[in-house]
A and B are shown apart, each in its own frame.
Chain A
Amino acid sequence: METDPVLQTFIIESTEKVQEMESALLQLETSPEDEDTINALFRAAHTIKGSAGVVGIDNVEKFTHTVENVLEKVRLGEIRVTADLIGLLLRCCDHIGHLLESLSAGKDPEENPELKTEGQAIAGELSAYLAVEGQGISAEPDKETTAQGSAPETLTWHISLRFGRDVLRDGMDPISFISYLSKLGEITGLTTLTDAMPPAQEMDPESCYLGFEIDFRSDAGRQAIEDVFEFVQEDCEINIAPLHGNKPSRKAADTAAGKQTQTRESGSKVGGTIRVDTDKLDQLINMVGELVIANANINQQAKRIGDNSLLESAFALSRLVEDIRDRAMKVRMVPIGETFNRFRRTVRDFSRSTGKDIRLLISGSETELDKGVIEKIGDPLMHLIRNSADHGIEERDVRLALNKPENGLIHLNAYQETGSIVIEISDDGSGLNREKILKKAVERGIISPGQELSDREINNLIFEPGFSTAQKVTNVSGRGVGMDVVKRNIEALRGSVEVESREGKGTTVRIRLPLTMAIIDGFMVKAGASFYIIPLDMLDECLEMSDEEKHLSFKRNYFSLRGTVLPFLRLRDIFNEPDGGNQREHMVVIRYAGGKTGLVVDELHGEVQVVIKSLGRVYRDVKGISGATILGDGTVALILDVPGLVRNGTRKRRSGL
């Protein structure tokens, strides 16, 4: 099978729909009667089926069709939502997911016997539901009357419909909607609007150009009328209003108004997004990067020439460039919520299979992260959550014995903090066992017996390769591969990870990731003959060091910052820069991960905007440098990897170097 772009789009969109179905199902677990959720579920399945039909993926279409049939009955109240049904439907989502995966790998799912049996087994269970007809219908009172809370009254409605261009192509026909509408009441007037139809040469016979104005008498109620157009509501403009002369009860009118704005909102949201190839975005951002560099150059030239009006123009340009840079970066930012929501399923399935009752609490969903980072953070997060669920949270009876709440809690949180995004995964489980970790570390030769370590260092030992203290190896985690991989993955994103734990109370893993991947505001310094850039948001303050302070500091290896101890590093030493003979040195105080560190440099050059150019393969392993940038005059400056420097510095000091 070739990678046809239409097929690709189908796979991407359907995968999203499967995720929507999944989150709807998980919501149904807590509120099984919620009609909006059931409708959302149904719509997602319907869309998958529809587009599978359009691209001609028969097995997906057929399978989803069966799912849709069951959901239809759920919607009509003929099948009740039970835990079993939700479980089955979740497996349906999985199966559709598997089919899509197979398609995206370029394999025909028909040729995979395992997938086939899986599909047949699930379809068999689904048809069992279809066979039991009308199971709940008599027990349930008429939905419409309960929803309206009053006896049905006959009203005249005015319905304006403007069908979207693609409805016919999507396999829907206005004829069937209007015929269906006429079953709910009486169409007293109908005008077909054709003015949207273009001149004959331009008219595409497969597009729909029709609109309708309909007068309609019915006792069905607004909800029922709206439901008629449920499947086209995303592509069509639909306006349903009671005609004057009716006296609808105030309550009905209120809810009606609310409903309508809701529909419109969701409509505008659909219309407001477009799918863009990430390559195109990256190119755009690259160009913006070049623009930033060129602009820096202009600023330098303007300053050199010193002409006031030129300076003013350059300043105005800079503001615009800054603005366009920020906006370009924002385009790539997406909220992390969707990634977080995916873990609801993980936690739920885990709870089911182990009998531990675990609740997942999610906060900070709106925190935005670069799309590239979001894609890569999923796996490490998954691992950490499984770890929490598996090793962190204790068995139910253990928890009860410890006087803890019966169900465990995992909290996923995200927030912004000085130039980084922080993601926290905390649990209220048993915490890390200090003794066990120490013992294991000695066994593995990671530390020598009797070595003095701080709590923090002990906790962070779990990120060492091949380290696992889990007593039982489960299929979820505990194989000792993982935490080091998690750490590597995060560091590859220029982030860092640390763990905090209180024995018996729980563990928190904190991941820090950089805000953007391409352009940063920096502070330029010089050490020896080279320029270095410090990310501006990590900069705390700059101090001039007097000779006396200098001597004193170098003797005792720390600087006294208004009476507090400030460890420091000399950039010249780190990068083997020759001593420039410049006696005046500056202390730049940087703040990272809750601590402060000093950097001793020769000259301060002020704020600059820099575009990060990644270093070539050869320099990838150079410690302390995260990238390079080209300054306005063409000089290269190195961007300091502050987290890396701080870590290295700490290690060196500890080991007495």
Chain B
Amino acid sequence: MNINVENNNGLCRLRIEDEMTISTAAELKRVLFDNLAGCRELEVDLSHVNEMDTAGFQVLYLARREADISNKVFRIVSPGPKILSVLQLYNMKDFFGI
């Protein structure tokens, strides 16, 4: 997994690559939360993610929930088919505004 971070005046863009699975979940959580703490708006680009399991989903959910609690904006951008199918199965597309 590779995460590309781009900070711009309170807006943080993260581009996650490869997989969001149990093997990378801890790292994913750390990066997401480190960046969420320092910004007002977090945009997560999922176009390069080709694999997501429940562990990955949970971290994504947690980040979104945390953003809501601290009144920040959280956005998922261009989720691939793999992500969509998980969100569809879990009936969580609405939650992420997709």
Contact = CB atoms under 8 A, between A and B. Distances in A.
A175 B54 contact: yes
Interface string B67-97: 0000000000000000000100111100000
B59 interface: yes
Contacts of A633: none
A168 interface: yes
A210 interface: yes
Interface in A512-562: none
A200 B25 contact: no
A174 B22 CA distance: 13
B53 interface: yes
Given A168-B22, A175-B89, A192-B92, A205 B59 contact: yes
Contacts of B53: 168, 173, 175
A190 B53 CA distance: 18
B62 interface: yes
Contacts of A175: 53-54, 86, 89-90
A122 to B, nearest CB: 32
Nearest to B70: A200
B11 interface: no
Given A168-B55, A197-B62, A200-B62, A206 B22 contact: yes
Contacts of A42: none
Contacts of B33: 200
Nearest to B66: A200
Contact of B29 (A182, A191, A205): A205
Contacts of A168: 22, 53-55
Contacts of B98: none
A192 B90 contact: yes
A178 B91 CA distance: 12
A174 B90 CA distance: 10
Contacts of B54: 168, 173-175, 208, 210
A444 interface: no
B49 interface: no
A203 B29 contact: yes
Contacts of B89: 175, 178-179, 182, 190
Interface in A34-81: none
Contacts of A206: 22, 25-26, 55
A194 B61 contact: yes
- Among B26, B86, B91, the most chain A Cβ lie within 10 Å of the Cβ of B91
A467 interface: no
A434 interface: no
B93 to A, nearest CB: 11
Nearest to B63: A200
A24 B44 CA distance: 51
Given A192-B91, A205-B28, A197 B61 contact: yes
B25 A190 contact: no
A168 B59 CA distance: 13
A175 B28 CA distance: 19
Interface in A150-203: 168-169, 173-175, 178-179, 182, 190-192, 194, 197, 200, 203
A216 interface: no
Contacts of B90: 175, 178, 190, 192
B72 to A, nearest CB: 13
Contacts of A463: none
Contacts of A209: 58
B37 to A, nearest CB: 10
Contacts of B26: 205-206
A192 B92 CA distance: 7
A161 to B, nearest CB: 12
A209 B29 CA distance: 15
A110 B42 CA distance: 51
Contacts of B91: 190-192
A173 B57 CA distance: 11
A182 B89 CA distance: 9
A107 B56 CA distance: 38
A203 B91 CA distance: 22
Contacts of B55: 168, 205-206, 208
Contacts of A205: 22, 25-26, 28-29, 55, 58-59
A190 B20 CA distance: 23
Contacts of B25: 205-206
A197 B22 CA distance: 16
Contacts of A197: 58, 61-62, 65
Given A173-B53, A206-B22, A209-B58, 16 more contacts: A168-B54, A169-B22, A173-B54, A174-B54, A190-B91, A191-B91, A194-B65, A200-B62, A200-B66, A203-B58, A203-B62, A205-B22, A205-B55, A205-B59, A208-B54, A210-B54
In the A-B complex, the 7 residue pairs with the smallest Cβ-Cβ separation, listed nearest first, are: A205-B25, A192-B90, A205-B29, A190-B91, A205-B26, A173-B54, A200-B66
14 contacts: A168-B22, A168-B55, A169-B22, A173-B53, A174-B54, A190-B89, A191-B91, A192-B90, A200-B66, A203-B62, A205-B25, A205-B55, A206-B22, A208-B54
Interface of A: 168-169, 173-175, 178-179, 182, 190-192, 194, 197, 200, 203, 205-206, 208-210
